[in-house]
Every structure is written in structure tokens, then in C-alpha cells.
Amino acid sequence: MARICERFDDLGADGAPARLGIMGGTFDPIHIGHLATAEQAREAYGLDAVVFVPAGNPVFKKHRRVTPAADRLALCRLAVASNPAFCVSALEIERGGDTYTVDTLRELRAHYPDNVELFFITGADAVAHIVKWRESAAIADLAHLIAVTRPGYALTAERKREIEDEGSFDVSYLEVTALAISSSDLRARLREGRSIRYLVMQSVRDYIMEHGLYEHAGAAIEPAEEVPAAETDDASDVSFRSPQAVAANDPIEAGKGARR
């Protein structure tokens, strides 16, 4: 059987109930906001482990250059190394082709026994458009959804009811610590020669500096096309993007899970 992640490949093999959190994203780059989200979700829902799944070929990122998968994978592994409850999976990168949430969840479901519950961690903004995700009905059958939001950016009660009416989604809402950090802001900082110290793990910063990543970050390949809200960027970033990015409906921060 294919390996999912080294630390938790055999989760649930002893037959005991277990809970696995899944956090998908481009992680370009991964930052402490991602880590804080995962840790707070782990604690709130009693997750035995959280696996970070960097996107291979994100379908919503056709309008800008994405850092090579090998570098993003390395950054993720460095970022989670100190947390024994975290691990990183290269399954989407190794799979190749366009990346969709439903494909990743199916692969995880096939790997782990039925006593392992799957919890997909995503942004509340992304959940608001969940019915537009590819095979959304299948997603509802494969995993519980944890929709994270920061104070002041929660979905309205009316919108939550609409989501429930649109499908059989098991959605829990988690308000996490407000950290105004986004990957797009970090790319801009690096491009401008500004510091990212304390916004990412030191090991991540060291790797970025050593390899000269993001020195020309954010250059568009071509004028960005309009991208459906459900097919856009890191859901893992949604809870941490700045109010300015929200107001501008920044397509680089508008929400993805393992990539719709």
C-alpha cells in the first residue's frame, strides 16, 4: 500500500478509534497561521494527527507562478518537524495532474481503516461555496468538515443554514486566533526584501533564504482570469488573510482546501 505519511501511516491499524485531520493547501509558503489553525483544530476536535497535504498542480493557480512542489514540500516538512502530532504527505504531488479535494479524500479513505475518521480542515470562506466543489456530495460522505474563521469573519447563521440545506455536509465551525498572515503577503515581503522573521518557522525562513525563493514572487503568467470562488487559493490561508485582501477579494487568498 502506498505511503501517506511516515509518522501516521499505520494510524488505526490496531483497531482503536482514531481521528485524522487533513489540511490541504498550496503552502506557498507555509506560515505560522497554518500551524496555529492545525493545532487549534487538533485540540478542539481531539484529532490524533494532522496531515498537511501540499497541492501538486492547483487548478486555481493557473494565473500565477507557483513555487516548485519539491520546495513547498520541503518547507512543509521543516515547519511541522517539531510537532509530534503533525506530518506531511506528498500524495498530491506524487499523483500528478490537477488537484481536487475529492480525489485526495478518496485516497486517504482507501488507505486508512474505517475506524479512522477523517476531518478536513478548510476556511469558512471556502465552505460557503462548498456545493461548487467537484463532487461535493462525495466529499460529504468522505469526511467531516472543520470550517475555521477568525474573530469578526464568521459565517452568518443564515449562511450556515443554507449550507446545511444544500447538502448533507457535516460542518463544524471553529473560531481560531486572529493572525493577519497570508502566503501572498509573505511573498510580497520577500520580493521587497522585508523581514518574515517570526511569521514562519525559523527553519522555513532559513530554507527560503538559502534557496533564494520568492525573490521574484507573484509575477503573473498572464492576466488573471476570473476564477470561481470555490476553485481559488488556500483555504488554510482564509482565516489569516488581511482585511485588505478580503475587501479586495484577492484571488490569491480566496480559499481552497485540498483544492476543491
Three-state SS across the chain? Answer: CCCCCCCCCCCCCCCCCEEEEEEEECCCCCCHHHHHHHHHHHHHHCCCEEEEEECCEEHHHCCECCCCHHHHHHHHHHHHCCCCCEEECCHHHHHCCEECHHHHHHHHHHHCCCCEEEEEEEEHHHHCCHHHCCCHHHHHHHCEEEEEECCCCCCCHHHHHHHHHHCCCCEEEEECCCCCCCHHHHHHHHHCCCCCECCECHHHHHHHHHHCCCCCCCCECCCCCCCCHHHCCCHHHHCCCCHHHHHHCCCCCCCCCCCC
Q: What is the pLDDT of residue 29?
A: 98
What does the pLDDT read at residue 2? 59
- What's the CA dihedral at 56, 91, 177, 44 to 10 degrees? 160
Q: Which three cell numbers stand for residue 50?
A: 494532522
Q: What is the pLDDT of residue 138?
A: 93
Start-to-end C-alpha separation, the chain: 25
Q: Quick one: CA dihedral 205, 209, 210, 212, positive or negative?
A: positive
pLDDT of residue 80: 98
Q: Alpha carbon 67 to chain centroid distance?
A: 16
Average pLDDT along the chain, 260 residues, taken 10 residues at a time: 84 98 96 97 98 81 78 98 98 87 96 98 85 89 91 73 74 87 95 96 98 74 32 45 38 40
**In the chain, what are the domains?**
18-218+228-248 (3.40.50.620)
Name the CA dihedral angle for 214, 147, 116, 47, rounded to a multiple of 10 degrees: 80
pLDDT at 97: 80
**What pLDDT, on a 0 to 100 scale, did the predictor assign at position 227?**
30
